Amino acid sequence: MTNFVGRERELAALAEVLAEVTAGGAASGRCLLIRGRRRIGKSSLVEAFLQRSGVPSVFFTAAGAPVEQELGELSVAVTRSTLPGRDVFADAVPGNWSAALRLLGSALPDDQPSVIVIDEVPYLMSLVDGFEGVLQRVWDRDLSRRPVLLILIGSDLSMMESLGSYGRPFHQRGQEMVLGPLSPADVGRMARLEPAAAFEAALITGGLPLICSRWRPGDDLWDFLRKQFADPLSPLLVSAERTLAAEFPDQTYARTVLGAVGAGERTFTNIARAAGGISASTLSRAVDLLVTKRMIAAELPVSLAPSRERRYRLVDPHLRFWLTFVRPHLPEIERMRGDLALAAVRERWESWRGHAIEPLLRESLARLLPAAGLPAAPVVGGYWTRSNDVEIDIVGADREPVARRLFFLGSIKWRERSPFDDRDLVTLQRQMSRVTDEPVPLIAVSRTGVRASGLAASFGPADLLGAWNSPRT
C-alpha cells in the first residue's frame, strides 16, 4: 500500500465524517465528493480509510464501459463486499442505475454505519443518461435516510466541481474534499532530504505518492534518477503517459499543445508554431480544454496597469519534467540506456530547475506570509513584458491581474552555489521602475543565501519549506 506520509489530515477528515454518521443514528447519511488529478492517490487514500475504519463497505470503480457491463461489475463488487445484505445482487443484475442504487441501499445495515465508494464518477456522468438526477433521487429518498457514508471520487476536476454546483441535481448534497499532491515538506520527510533538495524532489515527482514511494531515504536526486531510468516500468517513467492516455484518448491537438508548453513555449504564437503551425481557432479550443482540465494555467502579469501578455505553463511540475527529459529519451531507456537520459538531465538541470521551481516557491511564500515584517498577500504572482526585457519573479498584491496596491516585489535566484548578491539587487531595483514609481519593499528568495544590503526580507529553502508544515496547509 502507498506510504501515506502527509495524508494523516485527510484520513482524519474522513474519519470525522464517518463519526458524524455514527453519532447521527439511523437517518444520518453523509456524502463526500473527492476530486484530484489522476494518480494523486485518491483511491488508495479511501482504501486505507476503509481498512482503518473496519465498517461494512463496498468499493466500485467505473471504467467507462457500456451500461450493462458497468452494472454487472457493480453487482460483482457488491457480492464481494463486506455489506451484510450483499446477496441481494446474487440473483439478478439490475437493468438500470436507478434500480441498482436502490438495491444497493437495501444491502446496507440499519444498525451500524457503512460506506459506499463509487470511483471515477465522471465516467457515469458522461455515459449514463440522467445519472446526476438518478443519484439525487436515490440519495434524497433512500440513502440519506440510512447511516451510510457515500464517497464519490473523480479525476476530471471540472466535472467533479460541476456535480455539486448550483443548478445541478446534486447541489449541496455532498461535502467536497480536494486531494492535492504531497507537499515538498512531505516529500522531504519521506526521502530524508534537506530543504533545497526537498523542493527539487517535489519538482521531479510532482508530489505523486506512487513516484515518491520509490525514493529511498538517503538517496540524492541523481541516485534516484539513475535507479528510475534503469527501470522501464518505473512510475516516474510511465505515470505521465498513462495520465495523458486517460485524459485525452482522442485529443491529438491537446496532447500536441501540452507537449509544446511542456517544452517551454509560453506564448500563444510560439505554442502554435511549436505545435506545427495549427490554426488559431484549433489552438484556442485545445488551450481551453487544457485549462478546463487544470493541465495548464493561463496567467497575466500582476501590476497596476492592465496587460494582454498572457503566458501559459504546466500546472503539474512532474509532467513538465517528463515532457522535457523523459518522453524524448524513452527509446534509449527502453533499450536500457537510461544513462543517456540522465546525462541530458545533468546538462540542462540548473537552467530547467530555475524556471520550473518559481511557481512552487511563490506558492510557498504565499503560505508563509505574514512573516519577516511582510503582510499576507492575497496574490503572489509575477510580472513580465512582451520582449522579456523586464521579468520580476515575485509580485505581492491585493488582487490580480490589475492590482490596486503592491505589497512587495522580489527576485528568485535558485542557483547551486552563487548567493543573491548586489548585482541581483541592482537589477531588481532597475526593473521595479517599470511596475511602480512608489517605494515598495524588495525581497529575495535564494537557494544559497543572500549577500546584499537593502532588502526588506529574504527567504531560503528552510523558511519556505516550513510554510508547508503550518495549519494553513
Domains and CATH numbers, the chain: 8-178 (3.40.50.300), 184-356 (1.10.10.10), 359-469 (3.40.1350)
Q: If pLDDT is split at 50, 70 and 90, which confidence band does 293 have?
A: confident
**Inter-residue contact 253 to 267 (CB < 8 Å):** no
For residue 5, what pLDDT is reported?
55
Over range 405-412, report the average pLDDT: 97
Residue 473 has pLDDT above 50, yes or no: no
User: What does the pLDDT look like over 68-83, one tens digit per residue?
Assistant: 999 999 999 999 999 9
Residue 26 has a pLDDT of 65
Q: How confident is the model at residue 158 (pLDDT cuts 50, 70, 90)?
A: confident
Beta-strand runs (E) in 251-399: 296-299, 311-314, 379-384, 391-397
Band of residue 1 on the pLDDT scale cut at 50, 70, 90: very low
Residues 6+ apart with CB under 8 A from 343: none
Rounded to whole angstroms, how far apart are CA atoms 419 and 150?
52
Listed in sequence order, the residues at least 6 apart from 380 whose beta carbon sits closer than 8 Å to its beta carbon are 362, 363, 365, 366, 369, 394, 395, 396
Task: From 117, 3, 101, select the one nearest 50 (Cα to Cα).
Answer: 117
In this predicted model, which residue has the larger pLDDT, 94 or 421? 421
Please, which pLDDT band fits residue 28 given cuts at 50, 70 and 90?
confident
Give the whole-number percent of the chain exceeding pLDDT 70.
97
Among residues 340, 458, 331, the alpha carbon closest in space to that of 394 is found at 458
Helix H segments across 248-276?
Answer: 252-262, 268-274
**Mean pLDDT of all residues belonging to the chain:** 92
pLDDT more than 90, % of the chain: 83
Please give the grid coordinates belonging to residue 387: 520582449
- Angle at which helix 338-356 crosses helix 195-205, to 10 degrees, equals 110
* C-alpha torsion sign, points 82, 88, 92, 94: negative
What SS3 class is residue 379? strand
pLDDT of residue 470: 57
CA distances from 1 to 29, 189, 218, 253, 454 (A): 29, 18, 21, 36, 51
pLDDT of residue 135: 95
Q: Is the pTM of this model over 0.85?
A: yes
Q: CA angle, 423 as apex, 198 and 430 as ends, to 5°? A: 105
- Where residue 156 falls among pLDDT bands split at 50, 70, 90? confident
Q: Has residue 91 got a pLDDT over 90?
A: no
Q: What is the pLDDT at residue 247?
A: 82
